[in-house]
Amino acid sequence: MREKVAVIGAGSWGSVLANILVMNGHQVHIWSRRKEQIEELNEKHTNHHYLPDFTYDKRLVASDRMDEVLTDATTVLLAVPTKAMRTVVADVAHFLNDKQLKPVIVHASKGLELGTHKRISEIIEEEVAQENRAGVVALSGPSHAEEVAKKDITLVTAAAVDLKDAKKVQHLFMNNYFRVYTNTDIIGVELGAAFKNIIALGAGALHGLGYGDDAKAALMTRGLAEIARLGIALGADPLTFIGLSGVGDLIVTCTSVHSRNWRAGDQLGQGEALSDVIQNMGMVIEGLSTTKAAYELAMQQKIDMPITTAIYQVLYEGKNIKQAISDLMQREGRSE
């Protein structure tokens, strides 16, 4: 069935997901806050800042009018950086009133809110009254916009407390190159998605410093152990961490040159200043704030997270990366 979908956020990921939905036969309107980007999307069907070599389907309609984009939408897809999520969702909520259809709200973002440490689905549930929406779904997994744009094979998961909401999203996005699984452990899916970015910063840094594959495999394995420890303490199902949104996303983000988190780590490893890395990226590096949130949560929950702590010390306390690695290696020997 043809649906109307509102996509909020026209960066790399929101725009490519919107394009999938158009090609799957849906009517898709995408919201951006920038007029020049809207003109470019509507007239040239390009989005040069985010995906320079890609041409979008001509049927994708862009607008800066959130009310128009949301009118009659049966699904709303949010794809903005985590730090902007609460404000953007509050704006969306303003236009969802009980005269409209109650849309499923999907988000495709990966992070935790700074200060509150809340997951994105929790932010959405707080900001959009239950009577004005259907369920909340997290769409997550190993997926880079650059590869999905090229119709490379990608597998992700749609997670919701209620399986029927996850299935609706699965059905909406599935096609012959984008395969969607369902999962009812939204806590585990959102936490895996957020925490893997911390480890990706570390993997990039190892690369930048010239370390080999053994070191990277070690970081990914021990990184997964500690992010799963924290995730389980926060209510995740342990099995979720061996799924697409756990180890799957960890692998792609720790090994792909497309990953902004990996690239940021790589540049830090090569000695660039954090402020320059952020400025030059021009896109969101979610792992920076997620490291802070996870470090604080680990302290609160009394969970041992040596890698996250080391990355926190490098990012926020100015610790030398080589010293941080040396300190990790000199920790007392222990059982795996």
Ligand X SMILES: O=C(CO)COP(=O)(O)O
Question: Which residue numbers are catalytic?
Answer: 196
The kind and range of the H/E element at 146 are helix 145-149
Q: How many residues bind ligand X (CB under 6 A)?
A: 13
Pairing of strands 136-140, 4-8: unpaired
According to CB under 6 A, which one of 119, 144, 168, 292 is a site residue for ligand X?
A: 144
Please tell me whether 13 is known to bind a ligand: yes
Count Cα atoms within 13 angstroms, Cβ side, for 261: 28
With contact defined as beta carbons under 8 Å apart, do 294 and 198 qualify? yes
Give the tokens for residue 160.
């919701």
Please tell me whether 11 is known to bind a ligand: yes
The one of ligand X, ligand NDP, none whose footprint includes residue 79, by CB under 5 to 8 A per kind, is: ligand NDP
Cβ distance to ligand X smaller for residue 69 or 158: 158
Please tell me whether 261 is known to bind a ligand: yes
For residue 30, which amino acid is it?
I
Cβ distance to ligand X smaller for residue 236 or 252: 252
The one of ligand NDP, ligand X, none whose footprint includes residue 170, by CB under 5 to 8 A per kind, is: none
Cβ distance to ligand X smaller for residue 132 or 267: 267
Helix, strand, or coil here: 22? Answer: helix
The one of ligand NDP, ligand X, none whose footprint includes residue 14, by CB under 5 to 8 A per kind, is: ligand NDP
**Residues in 188-217 that interact with ligand X by CB under 6 A:** 197, 200
Cβ distance to ligand NDP smaller for residue 143 or 313: 143
How far apart, in Å, are the Cα atoms of 125 and each of 119, 136, 270? Answer: 10, 7, 41
Note the residue count of the chain: 336
x/- string (CB under 6 A) for ligand X, residues 156-195?
Answer: ----------------------------------------
Please tell me whether 179 is known to bind a ligand: no
Question: Residue for token digits 């997964």?
Answer: 224
Q: Could you tell me which of 40, 51, 149, 134 has the C-alpha nearest to residue 96? A: 134
